[in-house]
Structure 1
């Protein structure tokens, strides 16, 4: 009985299947399909790819929603090329040899959502080509030969959300090229010939959320490079080998949550450009020649959760480098030159979940003991770090050590100043003098110096710390006198040593009368100014009273001598002219009162005497 029921059930099931196949066959026969194409009525799709077509085939059903014309030999698209296909949602024209698209070629495709035209030979897109595409959401024009985006090229695409424009020959993007793309959320520009950020063009994209600029020829990010992009959340600028610097306000106005600046040529951590990004959660600075992460400069990135700096040139992560980053849970600094990573660089290691330290020349000593103690809770992402030193543990993975081994292997030796013989250095004013301080320890201790005013000295300035740890006082001044303190420290502790400096002033220069005492021309002073010249010194008057009296007297005598010489010269000159006459007599002939012009007659000469005064 059961066998008989099963038999009739199989017969009925087979009949249903044949009936369904018959209905599909009838439907396929009623749905028109172009020659050399495959049509699938159940999904309303027409597949004409890989058919060596040189033109768009005729006879495509007006009900079609997907049309695939990829991998053919289409060279041009004429005006209203797809009229009658108003229900089309997806159109794929990729991998053809398109060189020209006429204006309004897509007119009538009012429901089209996706248009793919990648890997063609387009050199320019004429304004008006995208007319009639009010619903388009995705446009892919990557891997063409486009040289320039002209003004208003995309203005008809009011609802476009994503544009792929990578791997073109772009040399210029016009200022109004993106006008009309108010709803664009994602823009990808990769591998082109742009040498500067198209700031003016990008400022038209007020709704942009994700921006990727890769493999460009830019050399710097100037101030306000991304102005008016207040909604931008993800920015990637990568594979730009000539990008060496970021201006302090280059990212001003952005509220990013994700920032990637990788495979560039940044040699320093861009603190100034990043400090205002208080919503940043993801930061990737991998493959840049950054050598150091300084302390207390990242505290403004309050919400940072992931930091990647892979494949750089990191030599040091200073203490308190991640101070303020309370939510940091992933740190990837693999493939650098780090010798150690101390617990003190973190705000707190309690939230740290993933730590990548592999491919670094790590010294396994007390500085890395905190990693060993947390190695069962930390995720090394299947790449546990290995020891490079000391020699007895070289090459061993952190996972290989047992609990009993760690106290004896991960140790440090406190620093010790080698020579503790009291030093009192004396030097005359104007000379340069070194103050020596040598120490040893494991790890090698760092050396710093404190001035007599207990201020920390730096490697720059007139009084500076040299690379070997000694302190150099150049052109010593009297107010440099005092006791300097050498401080050596490593992870195991510290040691100090005082060095006294006495500077003798020149007798003519005048001594500082505020000095504590004077002894045989040597003085120790307590000047109110900073030792390293950070504040101005009070300069004495350049001349004393005795010098001024001598100078005035000599000048007065010179003046009197000059006057006397002049009088003597005038005296001798006057004597050489003979007797001086004090009166003079002048003869004259008065003119006749008569008119005539004659010279003559009858007028007698007259005379008068004039006294010279």
Structure 2
């Protein structure tokens, strides 16, 4: 028995040391405050004990520390939120772009009703309810208790769901986002289940107006949103909903709309219903059936900034098709349509136009001067066309174009003369062409710092090909026929910012070591003694260090050699003087 003989105020604490587990040195102290005098502190059972007498104030301090430690342990253990519905998982997380909140979701696939949410009304956090791909058959007003503060709901892919009148009305002061994709909604009457959602900003009704092999009327004439109080609605998606026409009053009641997605429908032209939406900024009419953009198609949409008509059958654009958009339209995307003639007359008055995408159209030429409109393009996409890049093709945009896409155009050499006229060019995409050699003067005068040559049969880069260009250069050589990066040895440090050689067969040689040492960002892999190593592998510099010493090590060794020679000379001179 080990006894601490110091006794204060007659209080003692029993402590027992027990051997725990298989290690003899592992012990556990069990404290028991017996509140007895020192004369009563004696062993009670077999085992090793010792007596430690502590001052009362020390004992109280220790007990407080123990209490605080225990409280911290309890607070660090996540407790189950008793308000979370039994069939759900609830946790705090990201519920939208830049928004945190409380997420309620369930993995139960055969859920037929909205779970009881009443236990969450006292939780003040904004909430996201995710119940997509369930078997919910009905949604009513009583499913959402007042004051629950749900801001986002995703009920997509509940294929048998019936939404009752005012189903979400108890969320009138909180709901901002509602996804009802594939939920058996037909567009033959006013959508009264949306009644009262005055704060709703985003509504997705895509893949509706049809149910299995049952299709709703494709000619929509009902006032779908009239009188529902949707005064804040900004974005509406009705993608792939078997729509052939939209009457003039379909969008009555949501004139605040700024984004409309009608892609994937059977539209033969710009629907009449769009004329009412004077606040529109973005419209998507992709995958539609119309062949002509008629005159004044958007005359009432004077705030329209982005127009998407991708993967459509448009062959003709009337010269007056964009009347009304002269000061607003900034982005026009008509990728993979049927245009065989560049729409010079239709574009020339669009003073705000910044991005034009005509890739994958059967365009054979852009006549000189066709880009000399009143616009100033930053982005031009003419990839996968038959356009011949002539010397004056970019006339009128010399001080504008920053990003130029010339992918998959069958180019076997770089059209240097036309490209050197682009004084603001930053990014040049030449991937997927037939370029085999970068000659010394292939890039002369081109201002771009990002050069993309991916998927070209490029096998050789001549000395000086990157001389006098904008530095640092960012080069993309993915899936080319290059065998090494020796072309970089002709340039000073700082010439290259990054080089991407994914899909290229390289050896882990001293050129790679030099580029890594200089801080060039390399992407891809190289072969090191039969093993493929990622060029960003932290072990690679060490692997190459012995066989490829850096310039600094050369300098250190040179200085050391010079100092040795000087020392030997001095010693020799001193010896001569002495002796």
Task: Determine the structure 2 residue equivalent to 1:18.
Answer: 73
Which residue of 172, 190, 207 corresponds with 2:279? 207
| Rounded Cα–Cα distance in structure 2 between residues aligned with 1:109 and 1:208 | 26
Distance change >3 Å, CA 152–CA 81, structure 1 → 2: farther
Task: Determine the structure 2 residue equivalent to 1:194.
Answer: 267
Distance change >3 Å, CA 10–CA 276, structure 1 → 2: farther
Distance change >3 Å, CA 37–CA 354, structure 1 → 2: closer
The reply on whether 1:90 has 2:148 as its aligned counterpart is no
1:52·1:71 contact (CA, 8 Å) conserved in 2? Answer: no
Task: Determine the structure 2 residue equivalent to 1:117.
Answer: 180
Task: Determine the structure 2 residue equivalent to 1:317.
Answer: 389
Question: 1:464-497: CA deviations, max 9, x gaps?
Answer: xxxxxxxxxxxxxxxxxxxxxxxxxxxxxxxxxx
Question: 1:175-225: CA deviations, max 9, x gaps?
Answer: 211122232222222222222221x21122211111122211121111111
Distance change >3 Å, CA 63–CA 88, structure 1 → 2: farther
Task: Determine the structure 2 residue equivalent to 1:601.
Answer: none
Task: Determine the structure 2 residue equivalent to 1:335.
Answer: 408
Find the residue that maps to 1:89 and give its secondary structure: strand
1:98·1:122 contact (CA, 8 Å) conserved in 2? Answer: no
1:286·1:310 contact (CA, 8 Å) conserved in 2? Answer: yes
1:63·1:88 contact (CA, 8 Å) conserved in 2? Answer: no
Find the residue that maps to 2:262 and give its secondary structure: strand
Which residue of 220, 223, 239 corresponds with 1:152? 223
1:75·1:100 contact (CA, 8 Å) conserved in 2? Answer: yes
1:104·1:132 contact (CA, 8 Å) conserved in 2? Answer: yes
Distance change >3 Å, CA 84–CA 66, structure 1 → 2: same
1:67·1:92 contact (CA, 8 Å) conserved in 2? Answer: yes
Between stretches 226-235 and 114-123, larger displacement belongs to 114-123
Distance change >3 Å, CA 187–CA 13, structure 1 → 2: farther
1:322·1:347 contact (CA, 8 Å) conserved in 2? Answer: no
1:257·1:281 contact (CA, 8 Å) conserved in 2? Answer: yes
- How is 1:502-541 mapped onto 2 (pairs within 5 angstroms)? none
- How is 1:438-517 mapped onto 2 (pairs within 5 angstroms)? none
Task: Determine the structure 2 residue equivalent to 1:226.
Answer: 298
| Rounded Cα–Cα distance in structure 2 between residues aligned with 1:376 and 1:10 | 68
Find the residue that maps to 2:451 and give its secondary structure: coil
Give RMSD over aligned pairs.
Answer: 3.5
| Rounded Cα–Cα distance in structure 2 between residues aligned with 1:81 and 1:67 | 12
The reply on whether 1:73 has 2:126 as its aligned counterpart is no
The reply on whether 1:138 has 2:189 as its aligned counterpart is no
Distance change >3 Å, CA 351–CA 375, structure 1 → 2: closer
Q: CA deviation at 1:284?
A: 0.8
Q: CA deviation at 1:113?
A: 0.8
| Rounded Cα–Cα distance in structure 2 between residues aligned with 1:9 and 1:376 | 71
| Rounded Cα–Cα distance in structure 1 between residues aligned with 2:465 and 2:418 | 27
Distance change >3 Å, CA 262–CA 8, structure 1 → 2: farther
Give the TM-score taking structure 2 as reference length: 0.59
| Rounded Cα–Cα distance in structure 2 between residues aligned with 1:84 and 1:228 | 40
Structure exhibiting the larger radius of gyration computed from Cα positions = 1
1:101·1:125 contact (CA, 8 Å) conserved in 2? Answer: no
Which residue of 78, 86, 89 corresponds with 1:38? 89
Q: CA deviation at 1:13?
A: 6.7
Q: CA deviation at 1:153?
A: 1.2
Alignment length (residue pairs): 383
Distance change >3 Å, CA 77–CA 357, structure 1 → 2: same
Distance change >3 Å, CA 344–CA 401, structure 1 → 2: closer
Which residue of 54, 77, 95 corresponds with 2:112? 54
Distance change >3 Å, CA 354–CA 28, structure 1 → 2: closer
Question: 1:46-90: CA deviations, max 9, x gaps?
Answer: 324534111223353334633222221013334665353552212
Distance change >3 Å, CA 38–CA 67, structure 1 → 2: same
Q: CA deviation at 1:319?
A: 3.3
2:440·2:462 contact (CA, 8 Å) conserved in 1? Answer: no
The reply on whether 1:276 has 2:317 as its aligned counterpart is no
Give the TM-score taking structure 1 as reference length: 0.56
1:226·1:250 contact (CA, 8 Å) conserved in 2? Answer: yes
| Rounded Cα–Cα distance in structure 2 between residues aligned with 1:292 and 1:243 | 18
Q: CA deviation at 1:344?
A: 4.9
1:209·1:233 contact (CA, 8 Å) conserved in 2? Answer: yes
The reply on whether 1:164 has 2:237 as its aligned counterpart is yes
The reply on whether 1:372 has 2:443 as its aligned counterpart is yes
The reply on whether 1:244 has 2:302 as its aligned counterpart is no
Between stretches 11-20 and 267-276, larger displacement belongs to 11-20
The reply on whether 1:402 has 2:463 as its aligned counterpart is yes
Q: CA deviation at 1:120?
A: 2.7
Distance change >3 Å, CA 217–CA 68, structure 1 → 2: same
| Rounded Cα–Cα distance in structure 2 between residues aligned with 1:107 and 1:405 | 64
Task: Determine the structure 2 residue equivalent to 1:470.
Answer: none
Q: Which runs of 5+ in 2 are unaligned?
A: 1-57, 94-100, 211-215, 468-579
Task: Determine the structure 2 residue equivalent to 1:553.
Answer: none
Between stretches 226-235 and 84-93, larger displacement belongs to 84-93
| Rounded Cα–Cα distance in structure 2 between residues aligned with 1:258 and 1:120 | 33
| Rounded Cα–Cα distance in structure 2 between residues aligned with 1:75 and 1:361 | 57
| Rounded Cα–Cα distance in structure 2 between residues aligned with 1:270 and 1:318 | 18
The reply on whether 1:265 has 2:338 as its aligned counterpart is yes
Distance change >3 Å, CA 342–CA 58, structure 1 → 2: closer
Task: Determine the structure 1 residue equivalent to 2:363.
Answer: 290
| Rounded Cα–Cα distance in structure 2 between residues aligned with 1:125 and 1:20 | 54
| Rounded Cα–Cα distance in structure 2 between residues aligned with 1:275 and 1:63 | 59
1:266·1:289 contact (CA, 8 Å) conserved in 2? Answer: yes
Question: 1:258-308: CA deviations, max 9, x gaps?
Answer: 111101111111111111112111111111011111101211144211101
Q: CA deviation at 1:38?
A: 3.0
